């Protein structure tokens, strides 16, 4: 007759093995979540800077004073009476290194054309 204690010896270390298998998946999921939050924060800052730059350019001021992060590329586009600013995230950003390019575009009325 077998003793119940003998059955437990065969399961020794199974929790450790499951932990070793699950840990990389949990860490990968955590890294993706942190990257997503960082991307959303970077996009929010980029779109805020693009909106401020568009308002400044629409008034005839220098859009460089919009407080964009260093290394941010910007381009001015005209669409009828609107003046649009497109800003791209710097190339040294973490998401850019992974091949994800962030850009934001904002438009404002060009007051020089509107008058």
Please write the tens of the pLDDT for every residue from 58-72: 898 888 777 666 777
38-48 average pLDDT score = 90
Q: Which structural domain range is residue 63 located in?
A: 18-114
Q: 103 lies in a domain?
A: yes
Let me know if residue 5 belongs to a domain.
Answer: no
Tell me what the pLDDT averaged over the chain comes to: 82
From residue 26, give the alpha-carbon distance in Å to each of 17, 35, 59, 98.
15, 14, 50, 20
Strand partners, 105: 86
Nearest to 35 by CA among 90, 82, 94: 94
In a domain, 7, yes or no: no
Q: Is residue 27 part of a domain?
A: yes
Residue 80 falls inside a structural domain: yes
* Total tally of structural domains belonging to the chain: 1
**Which tens digits make up the pLDDT trace of 9-34?**
666 667 787 888 899 999 999 998 99
Mean pLDDT of all residues in 75-102: 85
> Whole-angstrom Cα distance, residue 17 to residue 65?
56
**CB–CB of 38/94 below 8 Å?**
yes
Is residue 95 in some structural domain?
A: yes
């Amino acid at each position: 007759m077998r003793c119940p204690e003998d059955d437990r010896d065969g399961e020794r270390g199974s929790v450790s093995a499951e932990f070793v298998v699950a840990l990389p998946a949990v860490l990968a999921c955590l890294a993706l979540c942190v990257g997503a939050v960082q991307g959303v924060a970077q996009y929010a800052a980029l779109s805020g800077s693009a909106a401020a730059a568009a308002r400044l350019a629409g008034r005839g001021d220098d859009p460089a004073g919009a407080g964009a992060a260093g290394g941010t590329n910007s381009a001015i586009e005209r669409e009828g009476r609107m003046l649009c600013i497109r800003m791209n995230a710097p190339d040294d950003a973490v998401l850019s290194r992974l091949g994800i390019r962030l850009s934001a575009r904002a438009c404002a009325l060009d007051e020089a054309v509107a008058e």
